[in-house]
Amino acid sequence: MLQRILLPAIFLFLAYGFWLSPNFKRVAAGVAIFLFGMLWLERGFKAFTGGTLERILAHTTDRLWKSLGFGAISATVMQSSSLVSLITISFLSAGLISLASGIGIVFGANLGTTTGAWLVAGFGLKIKLSAYAMPMLVFGIILVFQRSHSMRALGYVLAGLGLLFLGTHHMKEGFEAFRDSIDLSAFTVPGVAGVAVFVVIGALATAVTQSSHATLILILTALASEQVSYHDALALAIGTNIGTTVTALLGSLSSNVDGRRLAAAHLLFNVATAVLAVAFLRQLIVAVSWLSHPLGISPDDFTLQLAAFHSLFNLIGILVMLPAIPGLVRLLEWLFPSPLLSYKQPKYLNRASVDHPDAAIEAVRKETLRLYSHALTMIVSGLGLRKSEVLSTCDLEAALESSSRLIQPDIDGSYESNTKALYGAIVEFISLQRDGLSGDQIEEIHALRTAGQDVVESVKGVKHLQKNLCTHIASPDATLRSAYDGIRLRVARVLRELDRVRAAEDPTATLVTLDRVRVTLAEDDILANGMLDRLIRGGHIDAALATSLINDNSYAHDVCTSLIKMGQTLFGAHDVTRSSAERSVMLDDTEIREVAEARSD
């Protein structure tokens, strides 16, 4: 509803401004070019890093100071705290980082993005940026049309920088033309009310542009051309901190509860920082004046003093809020309680992760693990065992002997209502992945989809086994009963081994362990080891029972094979490059049979 009203209002305001003054057109065009440059710069950085930024984020957030450092450095490099916030929301939604780490990143990004004001105030307003913009645009566009992925990414970065410079130039020129016609200081209201008015204007401008950096450059150019006073510019800069939270708030709408908690933390931090800056505005002005001399800032260079003020009040906000992070986390968890989800509802899959490949891959991995956890419960109950028995060190054969009567669970109903629905959500999420994935990332996400299918197939296999298991594990014929207990034992052993592999700290041992399980599985096959022939010759089973046993043996073998294949994908290395390399050295079915035959000789 708000968007339906806000967008037409913006269009009407711009149309009136275009009609009123040609200089307004130049300023508005400068803002548009600047924002377009930021979009290209973000696209270039995302393509150029190839997921590096996301991987660094996932591995450098185990300490709060690391989170702060990552947020500050990444926002400094990318000049977009909004992009860093959106990436953080996607990783938090995928369960890869904690809420406290995400808050630390957002705090650091607020400080890192202030470096852009220093660059523009120190260089951008003192040199003719258009002279540098044109060559960057020319070379950038040429590189964008190259086949090489890295060359195209570099082209986007160059063209984005060129557009940023060109937009800043047009904003500066437009405000210079306004010098004699409009004096914004005439609208200044004395006292706190005047500060509040310009804070609100700065917040609204940032909410509309979706970029605090763009709004701050607009403020700097207006200040340089004397369209706004220094004190009013400070209030506008404070307002940008509030307005920049809009991007994160909008991004959190498509995320899970953790993403909404982070967006709320971002809003609380920026509002608290703004309140502190307004409350101690005079003291901050004095502090900036005191710091200007050692920093080499002249008393009349108000643009650099504005940049120093912007950095200073953000730094003070971090120092004040840092000790409150543990309490803030508890408050947010209370305000936004985690919803109770059924198995058929995805927990990690949401639109916030779609545009960030590494986050999307890990979200799919975690959701597939949830799928397996639910399937494990159904498989164990389908075997007539308890999960505590299978996933412990107790004697499985003794547990099988004590469960001679099988209570048939509703696997079919649970599969239709839960397993099938959750796997469908995983497949649908994978189909939303857009261009920009590397070869290894494409291979990894396809492997995860196959792993989910393996989980589904294992549940189907146990469902087929149930009928004969219920009949024959209570058979008076001990030999036939032993054959079906052997089928149950094979599946239970695979489940136990998978649990050990999942709990292992060294994922590199996964392939070796599971390949060994596959060899043992081949050795225990009742067709290969001659058990079926002995049952027939001993008169324990007739032709009909032999056929049933062959089919059930095949179902059990397929269940075990599907589970092992799933484990090799889910429990191995999480790095897409390493996991791709691991899959290339796995033993194939022919090699497994050869090893099993060699061991049996």
DSSP 453-504: HHHHHHHHHHHHHHHHHHHHTT-S-HHHHHHHHHHHHHHHHHHHHHHHHHH-
Residues 6 or more apart in contact with residue 430 via CB below 8 angstroms: 364, 445, 448, 449
Return the residue matching tokens 């930024």. Answer: 53
pTM: 0.70
Average pLDDT, integer, range 520-539? 59
Whether residue 424 lies inside any domain: the answer is yes
pLDDT value of position 585: 45
pLDDT one-digit tens code per residue, 569-588 = 888 655 555 455 454 545 45
DSSP assignment letter at 108 = H
Cα–Cα distance, 291 to 296 (Å, whole number): 9
Asked whether the predicted pLDDT for residue 79 surpasses 70, the reply is no
Query: Whose CA is closest to 222, among 188, 172, 181?
Result: 172
pLDDT value of position 10: 67
Whether residue 254 lies inside any domain: the answer is yes
pLDDT value of position 451: 92
More confident residue, 384 or 437: 384
Average pLDDT, integer, range 32-49? 67
Rg of the chain over all Cα atoms, to the nearest angstrom: 32
Q: How far is CA 9 from CA 30, 111, 242, in A?
A: 20, 32, 21
Cα–Cα distance, 160 to 165 (Å, whole number): 9
Average pLDDT, integer, range 143-172? 76
Residues 6 or more apart in contact with residue 303 via CB below 8 angstroms: 120, 121, 125, 220, 223, 224
Return the residue matching tokens 């048939």. Answer: 408
Same domain for 363 and 249: no
The CATH number given to whatever domain includes residue 413 is: 1.20.58
Cα–Cα distance, 374 to 349 (Å, whole number): 17
Confidence of residue 144 (pLDDT cuts 50, 70, 90): confident
Whether residue 288 lies inside any domain: the answer is yes
Token pair in block for residue 401? 């002997």
Instruction: Give kind and range of the element (H or E) at residue 52.
Output: helix 52-59
Confidence of residue 177 (pLDDT cuts 50, 70, 90): low
pLDDT value of position 15: 74
pLDDT value of position 592: 44
> Are the C-beta atoms of 169 and 30 separated by less than 8 Å?
yes
pLDDT one-digit tens code per residue, 245-298 = 776 676 666 667 888 888 888 888 888 898 898 888 889 889 988 988 888 888
The percentage of the chain sitting over the pLDDT mark of 90, rounded to a whole number, equals 2
pLDDT value of position 372: 92
Same domain for 427 and 285: no
Whether residue 528 lies inside any domain: the answer is yes
Same domain for 490 and 409: yes
Whether residue 113 lies inside any domain: the answer is yes
Average pLDDT, integer, range 436-453? 82
pLDDT value of position 17: 67
> Are the C-beta atoms of 347 and 367 separated by less than 8 Å?
yes
Same domain for 159 and 279: yes
pLDDT value of position 453: 92
Whether residue 6 lies inside any domain: the answer is no
More confident residue, 236 or 55: 236
Same domain for 173 and 26: yes
Instruction: Domain of residue 134: give its range.
Output: 21-181+189-335
More confident residue, 337 or 541: 337
Domain end among 335, 364, 397: 335
Instruction: Give kind and range of the element (H or E) at residue 218.
Output: helix 212-224
- Long-range contacts: 435-442, Cβ < 8 Å, 24+? 436/46, 436/47, 436/357, 437/357, 438/50, 438/51, 438/357, 438/576, 440/576, 440/577, 440/580, 441/51, 441/357, 441/358, 441/361, 441/576
pLDDT value of position 591: 46
Alpha-carbon dihedral 377, 420, 256, 450, rounded to 10 degrees: 90
Token pair in block for residue 72? 């500050």
Same domain for 583 and 541: yes
Least confident among 55-59, 291-295, 310-314, 572-576: 572-576
Whether residue 13 lies inside any domain: the answer is no
pLDDT value of position 368: 92
Same domain for 356 and 312: no
Domain end among 335, 367, 383: 335
Same domain for 329 and 362: no
Question: Among 91-95, 122-126, 144-148, 574-578, which range has the highest average pLDDT?
Answer: 144-148
Q: How far is CA 542 from CA 6, 465, 485, 534, 536, in A?
A: 79, 19, 19, 12, 7
Asked whether the predicted pLDDT for residue 384 surpasses 50, the reply is yes
Same domain for 405 and 280: no
Same domain for 158 and 41: yes
Same domain for 207 and 117: yes
The C-alpha angle 153, 159, 162, rounded to 5 degrees, equals 145
Asked whether the predicted pLDDT for residue 300 surpasses 70, the reply is yes
Whether residue 340 lies inside any domain: the answer is no
Instruction: Quote the number of domains for the chain.
Output: 2
Domain end among 279, 310, 335: 335
Cα–Cα distance, 438 to 46 (Å, whole number): 12
Question: Among 76-80, 132-136, 493-497, which range has the highest average pLDDT?
Answer: 493-497
pLDDT one-digit tens code per residue, 201-253 = 888 877 766 667 777 877 887 787 777 888 888 888 888 888 877 766 766 66
> Are the C-beta atoms of 137 and 98 separated by less than 8 Å?
no
Q: Hey, is 280 helix, strand or coil? A: coil
Average pLDDT, integer, range 415-429? 84
Report CA torsion sign: 265, 267, 271, 274: positive
Same domain for 369 and 229: no
Confidence of residue 510 (pLDDT cuts 50, 70, 90): low
